Structure formats: structure tokens, C-alpha cells
């Protein structure tokens, strides 16, 4: 069964606009962590943001924020004020508490920022 | 900032050959994870090592193996290469900061092409 779902294969956003990338996850482990990564065409995986399952507040890192809705098992990434350099693949991922360092990735969303 | 180095960056092999990839986490970091990224299967977890012991393994055939040395450097080996092994191989380390904030840092990857 797919543990991480990203339903938007590709998205376009106008420069300086905000964009939301969707992610839903499935786990029965009460302790887990959720990650978002950016992968430009160079192939480098860049960590963006982390949300723990017990965190009460939504995580924020600069222009990135994570809209965590635990009951809905949703962890959407919000990028504010999009920049041309934000064009890349974005991956949602999860680490279950019982899995040590193993992280499960979603299929990714390709984001293109239009000038 | 944590760092992970991987060598070589690019590799071309032919079917039936074997290959060894190397990953070096920052000094003192005891765990290393490996991932395979292909266009068809996405990012998949290969295995994880902690203090020279494999403590987690993904769903890959026995041709894929790894090890970790006492200085935390890790190698992965693929024997009897197949065309489908062409992929980006990524190595990662997980860190836990203040308040349990997790980060997973990836190396630049090794791009393997099997002809």
C-alpha cells in the first residue's frame, strides 16, 4: 500500500505567488516524522522542513511552512512568494518511529515557477 | 552544517559487472542510509547501517549489499549489474536537533549508468 501520496504530478505557479503542494500519508505508528525535500535538476536532495507527529504547531522554515492536519493525515507544503529558483521536484517523505532512519518517499511533484 | 560526501559522482558500467560506491558522513556520525532513485520507481530505501551493523533493509535482491567501517564510511556493492540498476544512488544521514527536530542530509549522489 502506498504510504505517501502526492496527487499533483506537476504544478505551475506565477512568480511571487504562494503555492501549496499536497501530501497525504498512511501509518499506524503514533510516532513519526514528516519531511519535505527539494530536488533541482542537478539531482541534489535538499532538506526543506520537518514536522514531528507530536508537534503542536505547524513547522516553518523561512518561506516554507508545513500545514499539518494530523486527523486527516495530511502534510501539505506551502511555499510563499515563489521564486524562479523554486522550480524543482518536491518530495514528501515519512519516517516511522519504529523504522530507525528509514524514510519512505512519495512520488514527487514537479513545480514550475513562471516569470 | 552536516555533510555527506559520495564517490564517484558518475560511473558507467556494462551488464554483468559489479560496482562499489562510497559514502562518507561527517566525522562522528554513526548511521548511514542508502537510497536508489529511478524514473520508474522513484526513491527507494536500500539499507541502513549503524555502528557497522545493518539494522534495516529495503526490498532489493541480494545483488545489492553494503557495509560500514569503523570510521563510519559506508560502501554499497551491486554485483552482476543489470540495465535496470541504472540510477542515482544517494547516501543520507539523519540528525536530531533541539526539540527533536530531525533533518536528513543527503550526499550529492552517484549516477550509475549500466550499458
Interface contact B108-A44, CB threshold 8 A:
yes
Q: Which of A34, A101, A108 to mutate to test the interface with B (most CBs of B within 10 A)?
A: A101
pLDDT of residue B2: 56
pLDDT of residue B102: 87
Find all residues with CB under 8 Å of A73, minimum gap 6, and list them.
A24, A25, A26, A27
Cell numbers 505551475: residue: A12
User: Which residues 64-93 on chain B approach chain A with CB closer than 8 angstroms?
Assistant: 88, 90, 92-93
Per-residue burial over A55-72, b if 16 or more Cβ lie within 10 Å, else e, is beeebeeeebbbbbeeee
pLDDT of residue A1: 60
CA dist., res. B20 & res. B22, Å (int): 7
Q: What is the pLDDT of residues B9-30, one digit of tens each?
A: 999 999 999 999 999 998 778 8
pLDDT per residue of chain A (115 residues) written in tens, 0 to 9: 669 999 999 999 999 999 999 999 999 999 999 999 999 999 999 999 999 999 999 999 999 999 999 999 999 999 999 999 999 999 999 999 888 889 999 999 999 999 9
Total number of residues shown for chain B:
115
Amino acid at each position: 500500500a502506498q504510504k505517501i501520496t502526492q496527487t499533483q504530478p506537476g504544478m505551475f505557479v506565477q512568480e511571487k505567488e504562494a503555492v501549496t503542494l499536497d501530501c497525504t500519508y498512511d501509518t499506524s505508528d503514533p510516532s513519526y516524522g514528516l519531511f519535505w525535500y527539494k530536488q533541482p535538476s542537478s539531482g541534489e536532495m535538499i532538506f526543506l522542513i520537518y514536522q514531528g507527529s507530536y508537534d503542536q504547531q505547524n513547522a516553518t522554515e523561512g518561506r516554507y511552512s508545513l500545514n499539518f492536519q494530523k486527523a486527516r493525515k495530511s502534510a501539505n507544503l506551502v511555499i510563499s512568494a515563489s521564486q524562479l529558483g523554486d522550480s524543482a521536484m518536491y518530495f514528501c517523505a515519512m519516517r516511522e518511529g519504529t523504522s530507525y532512519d528509514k524514510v519512505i518517499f512519495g512520488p514527487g511533484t514537479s513545480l514550475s515557477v513562471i516569470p | 552544517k552536516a555533510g555527506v560526501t559520495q564517490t564517484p559522482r558518475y560511473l558507467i558500467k556494462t551488464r554483468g559487472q559489479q560496482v562499489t560506491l562510497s559514502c562518507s558522513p561527517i566525522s562522528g556520525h554513526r548511521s548511514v542510509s542508502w537510497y536508489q532513485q529511478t524514473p520508474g520507481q522513484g526513491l527507494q530505501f536500500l539499507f541502513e547501517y549503524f555502528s557497522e551493523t545493518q539494522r534495516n533493509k529495503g526490498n532489493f535482491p541480494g545483488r545489492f549489499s553494503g557495509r560500514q567501517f569503523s570510521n563510519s564510511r559506508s560502501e554499497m556493492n551491486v554485483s552482476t549489474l543489470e540495465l535496470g540498476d541504472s540510477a542515482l544512488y544517494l547516501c543520507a544521514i539523519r540528525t536530531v536537533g533541539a526539540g527533536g527536530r530531525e533533518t536528513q542530509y543527503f550526499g550529492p549522489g552517484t549516477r550509475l549508468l549500466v550499458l
